[in-house]
A and B are shown apart, each in its own frame.
Chain A
Amino acid sequence: MEIDKIIHEPVRLRIMMILDGLEQADFNFLVTTLGLTRGNLNRHIEKLESAGYLKVKRSFKGKVRNTSYQITQKGSTALAQYWENLDLIRQSVQS
C-alpha cells in the first residue's frame, strides 16, 4: 500500500481538500485561505497540475486576469484513494 507523495505534502493536501468541496476556486482565494506567498502556492499548484490532479482555467474579470482551479476526476479519485490508504495505515499502526 503506497501513499501518494504528491498529495501527502501538507500544503498540496490542503489545496486538494479545498478544491474537492467546490466547483472552482481562484488563485486569490487559495492564497488568502492557505496563508501562503504567491510564489509558494504557484510551485505547489504546478506540481498538482503536472500530475493531472488540477485543471487550470484562465479568464478575464473585467480587465483583470483571473486564474481559477478545478479538481479533475483523476485528482478526486487520487484524493479518495489517499485517505483510504492513510486510514488503513493508521489502523494497522494502532492494532
Chain B
Amino acid sequence: MNSKQNNKSQDQNTEKLKEIPKWTRKYAQNRTLTSLAVIVITMLIGMVVATLSYLAGAAFIKGNMNVFRVCIVVLFAILVFVLIIRVSKFGGVIIHRWIDQLIYDDEGTASMPEPKLTKKKKWLGYVVGPIVGSCIIGTMYLGMEGYIAFKYMQPVSALYLVPFLVHLYFQQRPRIGPLVLICPILYTIHAILILAGVPIFFTGNLCMLNLALPAFGYTFLAHVIAHVYSRYALKKLKGLTHLEGDTANGD
C-alpha cells in the first residue's frame, strides 16, 4: 500500500517537473520592469515637453524672447536625449541594458528568443511606425482644429492604434507574452464606452490627453500586470526547482 502511494507521489512530482519550461517562459516573457522604467521616463519627458512648449508659446506671444530662446534650447536638448534613448544605434541598447542590470541584477537574466524577422517584415516595421505616428499627430491636429469632435478623438485613434499594437505583439512574439494585449483591449473598451455615451474624454486645451492618457495609462497598466505575473511565475518556478539538503548539494 505504502509502496503504491510512494509511486503515485513520485509520479506527481515528475509530472510537476515538466511544468518548469512553461513557468520559465512565462517569467521571461513578463520581465517588464525595464520597459516600465522606460515608459515612466517617456511620460516624464512628454510632460516636460508639453510644459516647455506651452511656456515657449506664451513667451513668444508676450515678446519675452529670452525665455522663448531658453525653452527652445532645452526642447532641442530633450529631442537629442530622446533620439539617444529611442534609436538603438545611438546608445538606446546601452541605456536599456543599464536599466535592466540595475533592476534585475540580483535575480539574473533569462531571455526568450528574439523574433525572426524577414527583411520584408523589418521594412514593414519601418513604414508602419511613421504612418501610425503621422495618424496620431493628424488626429490631434484635426481635433484641435475642430474637424473631429473631442469626444471622438480617442475612438478614431483606436481604429489605427489597436491594430498597430496587436501587430506589434505578433511581431515581437515569443519574446513578449500575451499579457501586453491588455493594452489594446482596454483601449478598445475605452473607445466603446465613449461611443456609448460615457463622458471619459477631455475638451479644450486638454484635448491632447484624449490620446496620450489612455495610450500611456493602459500601456503602463499592462506592463504592471505583466510584472506582477512574472513575480508569480518566478515563485512557481522556484517552488518546482528548489532542492533541499543532500539532494541540492549531492552529485
Contact = CB atoms under 8 A, between A and B. Distances in A.
B151 to A, nearest CB: 46
B24 A18 contact: yes
B3 to A, nearest CB: 11
Interface string A2-14: 0000000111011
A14 B243 contact: yes
B109 A13 contact: no
A61 B6 CA distance: 46
A21 B109 contact: no
B63 interface: no
Contacts of A18: 20-21, 24, 110, 237, 241
A32 B107 contact: yes
A90 B107 contact: no
A58 B18 CA distance: 29
B112 A23 contact: yes
Interface in B149-200: none
A29 B18 contact: no
B101 A61 contact: yes
A25 interface: yes
B106 interface: yes
A28 to B, nearest CB: 3
Interface string B3-47: 000010001001001101111110010000000000000000000
A11 B251 CA distance: 8
Interface string A57-77: 000011010101000000000
Interface in A10-63: 10-11, 13-14, 17-18, 20-37, 40, 43, 61-62
Is chain B's binding surface mostly helix, strand, loop or mixed? helix
A86 interface: yes
B11 A34 contact: no
26 contacts: A9-B251, A10-B243, A10-B247, A14-B240, A14-B241, A17-B20, A17-B24, A18-B21, A18-B24, A18-B241, A20-B20, A21-B24, A21-B25, A21-B28, A22-B28, A22-B111, A24-B111, A26-B109, A29-B108, A29-B109, A33-B237, A34-B243, A35-B242, A36-B249, A61-B97, A66-B109
Interface string B83-112: 000000000000001100100011111111
A41 to B, nearest CB: 10
Contacts of B113: 23
B165 to A, nearest CB: 24
B98 A62 contact: yes
B248 A29 contact: no
Nearest to A29: B108
A37 B21 CA distance: 22
B14 A36 contact: no
A11 B243 contact: yes
A13 B17 contact: yes
B249 A40 contact: yes
B107 A14 contact: no
A1 interface: no
Contacts of A62: 97-98, 101
B18 A83 contact: yes
Contact of B17 (A14, A24, A25, A36): A14
Nearest to A64: B101
Interface in B99-148: 101, 105-114
